[in-house]
Amino acid sequence: MQDVPLFERLEQFLGYFQAIRERSPQTIREYRYDLVLFFRFMLNHRGQTAADGPFNQIRIDQIDDDFLRSVSLTDLYAYMTWLSRERHNAPPTRARKVSALRSFFGYLKQKANVISEDPTAGLESPKQIRRLPRYLSLEESKQLLAAADQPEDDLSARDYCILTLFLNCGMRLSELCSIQLPDWRGDVLTVVGKGGKERTIYLNGACLDALEKHMEQRPKTGLKDPQALFVSNRGTQISPKTVQYLIKRYIKAAGLDPRRYSTHKLRHTAATLMYQYGKVDIRALQMILGHASISTTEIYTHVNSDSLHQAVENNPLNEIRSR
């Protein structure tokens, strides 16, 4: 949908969120896709398109301010029904589209002054089933680190360091890939998280040891990105795709299922291990992970089956037996 001609207000909105709100390129792409889809639906829903024309070729560049002012809550509900019944979008996908609509119409009212009433004000987000995050156990985490601990490999120190930071600090993939050398000072690392927010990460002994060994092995010359902490074998800053590939490789080498575990699951693992073994406060865990809302952090407060079993065993009434 990148080549789809957009109407003026949508172009302005995307520019505002990219330049002023500093949303990531991925977020901008998602907003663009979701909003183009919505306005194609609206034109089709109102019979303002050719009856036999392909849906994915509907042009939206003719949409004007009068059309935007005519969008109602009823239209939005019709769209959400269509997403569910016709496109079989799951609740998380529909929730993302609701977020895009709220952002766009909020912009039209508060920034562009195009509409006086925001039709998304009464739009509810689809109810989602909250699933427990998938994570590696402590033993599986040790297996994964052992799989990367191969001194004969020229990139082993780099890869081991990447895994160590993921499993000990719970950072995001984008945060790790963007680290620059000046971001590391002693036992403190500064990363840029979602929304361009800086976050301080405190490094433990394992992280410091891994970083020092990585720096000993890291190339000193011929680098295209000399300030990048992690570089590829081409001398450029390591890409998210490369990190995802090497994580999958080590997951397989550790005898774990690559279909169950991914790079983001290492973040889940770090959070779970900190909560279960470090007895970290939920607010502190929120700060460590860089969550804007504590409700996001609460998914890591799950307890394992052993803890549940032990809680039942420790019930004082467990000592009472019938005569």
Please give the positions annotated as active site.
Answer: 172, 194, 264, 267, 291, 300
Handedness of CA 266, 271, 272, 277 (dihedral sign): positive
Give the whole-angstrom CA distance, residue 272 versus residue 277: 8
Cβ atoms of 69 and 42 within 8 Å: the answer is: no
Per the CB < 8 A criterion, the answer to whether 159 and 249 are in contact is no
Name the one residue in this structure whose structure tokens are 């969008």: 71
Residue 253: CB atoms within 10 Å: 14
For residue 246 the two structure tokens come to: 């090497």
Distance of alpha carbon 42 from alpha carbon 39, whole angstroms: 5
Which DSSP symbol is given to 232? -
* Rounded (5°) CA angle 44-106-101: 35
Query: CB atoms < 10 A from the CB of 158, how many?
Result: 25
R_g (Cα) of the chain, nearest Å? 25
Alpha helices in the chain (DSSP H): 8-19, 25-45, 65-70, 73-85, 91-110, 138-148, 156-169, 173-177, 205-217, 240-253, 263-277, 282-289, 294-297, 305-313
